[in-house]
């Protein structure tokens, strides 16, 4: 029987609120057994970029990562946010180690090619697309086996010396898939909602279980709000590649969501 590993992603408004983040990290520190944390960057990179005179640019809600912006997100995600999280976890007796995808060649990626959007060719800049098959799990297994709790910033690398800005949900999925042959993996996406909602205006309309058929039905009925779709797509990518279960739920329910009596939305094959 494989040991259980919890791959936990935290993002959204929780990262932006010091109090909410500290409360979440206290819960994360209480999770027993093997665990990995992946964090997003929240709005902190935008705020610091503004202070330094580097304006954020978006197309269809996705950040353009030009030369100045990759420097900002590397400093903020890989430095400020990551190390504050690591320091807080150390204070909570969790032996955390801060990482990016470049460290020990954990997550190699490819610079995103030009994309055709509304008839125009768009260059997203230093943005990384990850291929699950290129992930090397052994170095991470060594760290976990030595008692460390890895904390990943949403950064990868292209093998040519460039850091790449990469979606944190995708990094979480990639790590979960890459480790699923070694552990019984539960991938947990934590944010400020209680789960996948049937009615976006009703926080109590949580859909408890979703499989592929239910997902297609919800899409056909236009019942899923746009922001949740990438999480569900990443969840099914992970399930199809060997991850046992994916849970999408509220950050405050993390400890419960590492047990059988889960809150939120459980996604299974």
Please give the annotated binding residues for substrate, written as ranges.
Answer: 41-42, 63, 165
> At 239, is the secondary structure helix, strand, or coil?
helix
The beta strand positions in the chain, using DSSP E, are 4-10, 34-39, 57-59, 62-64, 96-99, 109-111, 115-117, 120-122, 128-130, 149-152, 155-157, 163-165, 184-191, 209-210, 245-250, 265-267
Token couple for 117: 């959007």
| Closest residue by Cα to residue 12 from 41, 50, 49, 47 | 41
Token couple for 108: 């190699």
- The string of DSSP letters for 178-190 reads HHTTTSEEEEEEE
CA distance 137 to 167: 19
Sequence-separated (6 or more) residues with CB below 8 Å from residue 89: 25, 28, 29, 37, 96, 149, 151
CA distance 14 to 22: 9
245-250/184-191 β-pairing? parallel
- Going by the annotation, the residues of the binding site are 41-42, 63, 165
8 Å CB contact between 150 and 38: no
Q: Which residue has the tokens 């990290």?
A: 25
Q: Which residue has the tokens 């059988």?
A: 260
């Amino acid at each position: 029987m494989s040991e259980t590993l919890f791959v936990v992603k935290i993002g959204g408004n929780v990262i932006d609120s010091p109090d909410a983040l500290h409360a979440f990290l206290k819960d994360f520190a209480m999770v027993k057994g093997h665990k990995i944390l992946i964090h997003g960057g929240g709005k902190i990179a935008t705020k610091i970029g503004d202070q330094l005179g580097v304006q954020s640019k978006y197309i269809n809600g996705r950040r353009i990562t030009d030369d100045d912006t990759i420097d900002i997100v590397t400093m903020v995600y890989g430095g400020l946010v990551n190390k504050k999280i690591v320091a807080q976890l150390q204070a909570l007796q969790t032996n955390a180690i801060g990482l990016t995808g470049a460290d020990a060649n954990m997550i190699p990626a490819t610079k995103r090619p030009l994309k055709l959007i509304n008839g125009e060719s768009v260059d997203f800049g230093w943005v990384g697309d990850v291929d699950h098959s290129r992930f090397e799990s052994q170095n991470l297994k060594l760290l976990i086996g030595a008692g460390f709790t890895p904390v990943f910033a949403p950064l990868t690398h292209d093998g040519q010396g460039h850091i790449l800005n990469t979606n944190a949900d995708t990094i979480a999925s990639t790590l979960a898939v890459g480790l699923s042959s070694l552990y019984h993996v539960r991938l947990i996406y934590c944010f400020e909602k209680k789960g996948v909602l049937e009615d976006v205006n009703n926080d109590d309309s949580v859909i408890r279980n979703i499989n592929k058929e239910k997902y297609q039905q919800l899409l056909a009925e236009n019942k899923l709000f746009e922001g949740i779709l990438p999480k569900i797509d990443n969840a099914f990518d992970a399930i199809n590649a060997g991850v046992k279960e994916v849970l999408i739920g509220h950050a405050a329910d993390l400890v419960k969501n590492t047990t059988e009596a889960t809150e939120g939305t459980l996604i299974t094959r």
